Amino acid sequence: MILEDNKGHVLGEVIFSSITGFTAEIWQENALDDLLLSNSPGFGSFLKVVSLENELSVLAVVHNVITGPVDTSHRPCALKMTREQLKVEQPQIFALLKTELHAQIVGYFREGRMFCRLPPQPPQIHDFIYPATASEICAVTEDLSFLRSLAGVVTVPVDELLAASVREAYKVRGEDYAFLVAAGQAISQIVRDDYDRLVALLLKVKAD
């Protein structure tokens, strides 16, 4: 697998980083960016961080998206106005908000090769984040060990994350039924001691 052209649509940049995951702030195109969520990747989607200093590109899955104040001294409060009214009458309040996403690392590219494991170094602070391409998603999900990486996330309901990431990969893979079956088998190994949980999780995978 050859890493594709890194020159894509930049979503934002890394503001906190570790070997296992990172937090990124979404770039604000303008102060009226629909609470900044319109540009944000969805739950369970795949991202790429291009880390030129480390000479690798990290693949990760979004497990949380949070919009809040830029600082604690400008906390939002109820104004009894619709967002459309606020955009007209008080557009400045949107400049006081930011959107951050949290992502779990599931693999990385180095020298044209895909490794389905944690990278030797974390992404660098201020590295740019991009949507992962279809071929990159196919490469990192070819090895279903990415599901075990996601199973360790504790900040959100992990079953929802597993199901969302499988749905995303299934869609990118052109609804490849063989992948869906293999993913279901991998999930059954992760939660094999809890039959009811397994059934509920597999139903979530097929929810779309």
Q: What is the pLDDT of residue 4?
A: 42
Distance CA 30, CA 18 (A): 29
**Parallel/antiparallel/unpaired status of strands 12-17 and 113-115:** unpaired
Q: Any idea what DSSP says for residue 68?
A: E
Q: Which two tokens stand for residue 117?
A: 């494991």
Q: Which residues of the chain have pLDDT under 50?
A: 1-6, 35-36
DSSP character string of 77-108: ---SS-HHHHHHH-GGGGGGEEEEEEEEEEEE
Cβ count near 148 (within 10 Å):
15
Percent of the chain with pLDDT over 70: 90
Q: What is the pLDDT of residue 80?
A: 82
Q: Residue ranges of the domains in the chain?
A: 1-143, 148-208
Distance CA 138, CA 70 (A): 36
Cβ count near 47 (within 10 Å):
22
Whole-model pTM: value is 0.87
